[in-house]
Amino acid sequence: MAINTLATATLFQTNLDKIAIQDATTGWMDANAGQVIYNGGAEVKIPKMSVQGMGDYDRDTGYVQGGVTLEYETRKMTQDRGRKFQLDAMDVNENNFVTTASSVMGMFQREQVIPEIDAYRLSALATQAINYQNGALVEYGYTAAEGTVLRKIKEGIKAVRDHGYNGPLVIHAISDVTMELEIALAGKISAVDFAKGGINTKVPAVDGVPIIETPANRMYTAIKLNDGKTSQQEKGGYEKGDTAKQINFMVMPRTTPIAITKQDKMKIFTPDTNQDADAWKMNYRRFHDIWVLDNRLNSIWVNIKEAKD
C-alpha cells in the first residue's frame, strides 16, 4: 500500500517543531509567544499593553479613572530559511522511506536548524543590549576565572534587578564560565528545576537563577547567514560574523524575549511525482525570529570576552 505522503509530512512537521523547542538551548523563549497571533506565513501580531499608574482616592468622588491600552503590533519574521533533500528511489524503497527520511530530517534539525536558531536569537539579543544607551548593560574584556566568575555573574544579576526586574531570570553561559563557576563553588553550586518544551531538567543556578550552558559557537554578538547558493556559501548554515565577539554569559528576565519558530507546510514528493529525479524529495522551510518590546530593552545584561573596539 502506498504511503500517505500528506500524513507523513504532517507527522514530520509536528515532531520537528517539538524537537526545535526541546533541543534548542533557547527553546524556553518560545513560551513567551503564547499571546502572539500567528495565522501562517511570516507575519505575527504581538500584543502591547500599558496601564496608567495609581491616583489619589477621593472620599466624595471615589476612584480616579484609569486607562488601559491594548494594541497589536504586526511584525514580520525576517528569518525565512529552508533546504530540499532527495533520496534516490533505488536506495530507498517505499517500506523504509519513513525511517530513512526521519533519520535525515532529524539529523538536519539537530545539527543545522537548532544551532542556527540558537545563534541567531542570542546574537540578536546581544545586539539589542549593545545598542541600548551605548551599551550601558554590556561589559567587555573579561576572561572567566575561578576567583572572579561568581562575582561577575552576581553583578550581572544585580544590574538586571536594579532596573526593576524582580521576576524569574535566566542566564546563558559558555562552558568556560560554567566550569570556572563549578570549580569556584567546589561542589556547592545549587541546582534548580528548569522547564522547556514540556520537559523539566535540573540545571545549576546562582541566587536561584538557572544557568543554561550554551555552546560557544552559538554565543556570538553577530553571525553571518550563508544563503546556500552564492560562491563560498554553498554549505549553508551560519558562521561567526566578521566583527563578532565571543559572549561569556547573558542575563535576562524570562519574560523578555518573544521568540517564534514555525515550519511552513512540509512537502514530500514521491518518485512518481518528482519531476526532477527518480527520487523522494522533501522540501523543508522554517520561519523564525525574536523580538524584545521597547519597554524591556533595558533588561538584558551581556558579558563579552573580547575588549571593546
Give yes or no for residue 13 having a pLDDT over 80.
no
| Cα pseudo-dihedral 220, 221, 227, 230, rounded to 10 | -90
Task: Say how far apart CA 203 and CA 212 lie, in whole Å.
Answer: 7
Dihedral sign for Cα 5, 8, 12, 14, please. Answer: positive
Of 189 and 41, more confident = 189
Which alpha helices (H) appear in the chain, and where do they start and end?
Answer: 5-23, 97-108, 114-131, 149-162, 175-185
pLDDT digits 0-9 by tens, 230-268: 999 999 999 999 999 999 999 999 999 999 888 777 788
Q: What is the mean pLDDT of the chain?
A: 89
Task: Say how far apart CA 188 and CA 185 lie, in whole Å.
Answer: 5
CA distances from 124 to 119, 136, 232, 259 (A): 8, 17, 24, 11
Give the pLDDT mean for 263-280: 83
pLDDT digits 0-9 by tens, 221-239: 999 999 999 999 999 999 9
Give yes or no for residue 207 having a pLDDT over 90.
yes
Give yes or no for residue 123 having a pLDDT over 90.
yes
Percentage, residues of the chain above pLDDT 90: 54
Q: How far is CA 140 from the centre of its chain?
A: 23
pLDDT tier at 150 (50, 70, 90 boundaries)? very high
Lowest mean pLDDT among 23-27, 102-106, 299-303: 102-106
pLDDT tier at 31 (50, 70, 90 boundaries)? confident
Full-model pTM: 0.87
Query: Ranked by mean pLDDT, which of 4-18, 111-125, 185-199, 279-293 comes out on top?
Result: 111-125
Give yes or no for residue 1 having a pLDDT over 60.
no
Task: Say how far apart CA 125 and CA 303 lie, in whole Å.
Answer: 12
Which of 105, 77, 88, 112 is CA-nearest to residue 228? Answer: 112
- pLDDT value of position 142: 97
Residue 85 near residue 108 (C-beta atoms within 8 A):
yes
- pLDDT value of position 3: 61
Give yes or no for residue 217 having a pLDDT over 90.
yes
C-alpha grid cell, residue 125: 539579543
- pLDDT value of position 95: 65
pLDDT digits 0-9 by tens, 63-94: 999 999 888 888 888 999 999 988 888 888 77
Residue 289 near residue 225 (C-beta atoms within 8 A):
no
Residue 300 near residue 137 (C-beta atoms within 8 A):
yes
- pLDDT value of position 4: 67
C-alpha grid cell, residue 98: 519513513
Dihedral sign for Cα 30, 35, 40, 43, please. Answer: negative
Give the pLDDT mean for 129-147: 93
- pLDDT value of position 17: 75
- pLDDT value of position 2: 53
Give yes or no for residue 98 having a pLDDT over 50.
yes
- The total of other beta-carbon atoms located within 10 Å of residue 128's CB is 22
Task: Say how far apart CA 248 and CA 140 lie, in whole Å.
Answer: 10
